[in-house]
Chains A and B, each alone.
Chain A
Amino acid sequence: MKKKVLEVKDLETSFFTHLGEVQAVRGISFDLHEGDVLGIVGESGSGKSVTSLSIMKLIEDPGKLKNGTVLFHEEDGNVVDFTSLDQREMNEYRGNDIAMIFQDPMTSLNPVYRIENQMVEVIRKHTDMNKEEALKRAKHLLELVGIPDPEAQIHDYPHQFSGGMRQRAMIATAISCNPRLLIADEPTTALDVTIQAQILELLRKLQKETKMSIILITHDLGVIAEVSTHVIVMYGGMVMEKGTVHDIFYTPAHPYTQGLHESIPQSTAKQKERLVPIAGSPPDLMDPPTGCPFSPRCPYTMEVCLEKASPLFAVSDSQEASCWLLHEDAPEEPDYEKAREAK
């Protein structure tokens, strides 16, 4: 049995704007084990970033963690609840045991400090290395992430790096203190396709070489297929389905997951003709539907779907989905293909 790294329970985060409460995350739970690469997938606005920022306790005003616990299991078995820590205490974990990289490498590095300065700062914050040792470590890390000439380039400013190189530098900084968990929020979305593949390859390589677990956030199922071992499908701030990557790709149980598969091109050649996005638009999080958030767009909506959000039903040992169709009293499982064609 693999050791647990993270247990998220009933996480709820809202933004209290002057227009009203935006319920960005509405009760999310999941476990993450050592060495897992958990992909969190969902359309833009489904609450993926807010979930990861909530885990890191980086939600800022007017956002608030309303409910839930984030249990982090340290290497030695000690368990801490991040939600009970203050920012000072969190700073001992952030960048150290749990690190994060972001979507836009062009804006995520401080433009007025050299790469060297930014990396050494983090290393020295979490270790007792002196300046020279930290610099040496930083150069080694840059080499590890594939910066061609670390010896010279470590003295560069971010603007002297390309987008791909900046993301590599971000990754190097993130892994500098051997985190148990790396959260990567859309790490390749802002990059060229070829660079995307290289960065994913790098993450996979680093994951294999360390015991590090990864949460990989993306709106792209292709990226998930590439690196994940497990997948969570999010919609409207809730978990629609979770399972192994095999479950999600071969036996998707939730209509939304199925819809996501439909919406990705099967191959580049077919891309133009066969892009079938799910009809409709995501729910208004200021006033979310009472029932299942996907019900307004779901082809199989039943009465119960409008009244009450479904709990997670086990589909198999490894797979769960929150869909009333999985309830034992639900009608005969509908023929998805037929229903879709009828629509």
Chain B
Amino acid sequence: MGSYYIKRTLSAIFTIFLIATITFFMLRIIPGGPFTREKKIPDSILESLNEKYNLDAPLYEQYFDYMKGLVTFDLGPSYRNLGFTVNDMILAGIPATFKIGALASLLIIIVGIPVGIVSALKSNTAIDYFVMFMATLGVTVPSFVIATVIIYLFAGQLGWIPTNGLNSPLAYIGPVIALSGYSISFVSRLTRSSMLEVLRQDYVRTARANGISEGKVIFKHALKNALIPVVTYVGPMVAAILTGSFVVEKIFAIPGMGGYFVESVNNRDYTVVMGMTIFYAAFYIVMVLLVDIGYSLIDPRIRLDGRGSR
């Protein structure tokens, strides 16, 4: 088991290294640089700026410098927000992004899974049809539409919630719903179909044949099995949601990482783009690892050393 984690960690480091390398060179291929402006900057200033940030050095030298920094978790300075490092910007964005992301993830789990279960238990009744209709709506309507409708209706027309920022508890409602709408719908559909599948299994019949109460049949015997595919989806989804949605952050004017990321891409702020890409990648890899561990806890047939036993 120990060697499994070592292998996983090594492969994670290698993946991050690859992502860093690819991002580095891709950014340099795109024409323009951090100091390109519509109004031309005098050549002398441009030169001195390039010199200051070492952008006039050969590419390989810049690359090795960057990698050296990366090893010590130093993601370099921002070229556009003078006086700020990339680390500063990520740290500044994290609280808002994570707060919304965590609430959205929580909502997905505490709403999506129970709704899916109820829908499965009431399958082919009016409740089920209604839930599945809502869920279909939820997966087909993009988050920016949900966000816009929320702002128009609840912030604008009704004035119940603020339109932007995160200054009151009510302000969280809009972004959290916009961020979680798709996944709540997806998770409830997934839970429903998985539950229906599991309820047909022989071991559920065995439990019933042994006189186990219906509640235990559903919540002990069926649910744990039904959650296996849900966990697979929820892990990476939480990673995506915790790192925020550029669109939702933009619409609700939330000072999170997403906003910084979009801005930095527009500005060719090389180090910020790279830093955030690497941060996202690392976070995603850690979440996937957590899913695998969670998996092995739920399903004893899965062994983390990769050698299946069936």
A, B bound = yes
A91 pairs with B209, CB closer than 8 A: no
- In the complex, A170 has a CB within 8 A of chain B: yes
Instruction: List residues of chain B with CB within 8 A of the CB of A96.
Output: 211
Instruction: List residues of chain B with CB within 8 A of the CB of A91.
Output: 211-213
- Given known contacts A111-B203, A112-B225, is B208 in contact with A94 (CB within 8 Å)? yes
- Given known contacts A91-B213, A122-B211, A159-B310, is B205 in contact with A112 (CB within 8 Å)? no
Instruction: List residues of chain B with CB within 8 A of the CB of A160.
Output: 309
Q: Per-residue 0/1 for A98-110: is the Cβ within 8 Å of any B Cβ (1 yes, 0 no)?
A: 0110101001111
A110 pairs with B208, CB closer than 8 A: no
Interface centre among A88, A99, A111 (most CB of B within 10 A): A111
The secondary-structure label for the interface of chain B is helix
- Given known contacts A104-B202, A159-B310, is B209 in contact with A110 (CB within 8 Å)? no
Instruction: List residues of chain B with CB within 8 A of the CB of A58.
Output: 205, 208-209
Instruction: List residues of chain A with CB within 8 A of the CB of B210.
Output: 94-95, 99, 121-122, 125, 173-174
The segment from B38-46, B108-116, B293-301 found at the interface with A is: B293-301
- Given known contacts A111-B299, A159-B301, is B209 in contact with A99 (CB within 8 Å)? yes
- In the complex, B61 has a CB within 8 A of chain A: no
Bound Cα distance A90, B209 (Å)? 10
Bound Cα distance A287, B125 (Å)? 29
- In the complex, A217 has a CB within 8 A of chain B: no
- In the complex, A271 has a CB within 8 A of chain B: no
- In the complex, B99 has a CB within 8 A of chain A: no
- In the complex, B207 has a CB within 8 A of chain A: yes
A125 pairs with B203, CB closer than 8 A: no
Tell me the count of chain B residues lying within 8 A, CB to CB, of chain A. 23
A109 pairs with B212, CB closer than 8 A: no
- In the complex, B224 has a CB within 8 A of chain A: yes
A109 pairs with B209, CB closer than 8 A: no
B212 pairs with A125, CB closer than 8 A: yes
B206 pairs with A93, CB closer than 8 A: no
- In the complex, A92 has a CB within 8 A of chain B: yes
Tell me the count of chain A residues lying within 8 A, CB to CB, of chain B. 33
- In the complex, A249 has a CB within 8 A of chain B: no
> Smallest distance from the beta carbon of B304 to chain A beta carbons, Å?
15
B209 pairs with A100, CB closer than 8 A: yes
- In the complex, A300 has a CB within 8 A of chain B: no
Bound Cα distance A160, B212 (Å)? 24
Give B168-226 interface residues, CB cut-off 8 Å to A: 201-203, 205-214, 216, 221, 224-225
Instruction: List residues of chain A with CB within 8 A of the CB of B209.
Output: 56, 58, 94-95, 99-100, 102
- In the complex, A82 has a CB within 8 A of chain B: no
- Given known contacts A157-B300, A159-B310, is B203 in contact with A108 (CB within 8 Å)? yes
Bound Cα distance A88, B215 (Å)? 11
- In the complex, A263 has a CB within 8 A of chain B: no
* Other-chain contact of A108, B206, B212, B225, B310 (Cβ < 8 Å): B206
Q: List 30 A-B contacts (CB under 8 A).
A: A88-B213, A92-B211, A94-B210, A94-B211, A95-B209, A95-B212, A96-B211, A99-B210, A102-B205, A102-B206, A102-B209, A104-B202, A107-B201, A108-B202, A108-B203, A108-B205, A110-B203, A110-B206, A110-B207, A110-B221, A111-B300, A112-B225, A113-B224, A121-B212, A122-B210, A122-B211, A122-B212, A125-B213, A159-B300, A173-B210
Contacts A94-B211, A112-B300, A170-B206 aside, 20 further interface pairs with beta carbons under 8 A come to A58-B205, A90-B211, A91-B212, A93-B211, A94-B208, A95-B209, A95-B210, A102-B209, A104-B202, A111-B299, A111-B300, A112-B224, A113-B221, A113-B224, A121-B210, A121-B216, A122-B212, A126-B211, A160-B309, A173-B210
Question: Top 3 nearest A-B pairs by Cβ distance?
Answer: A95-B210, A95-B211, A94-B211
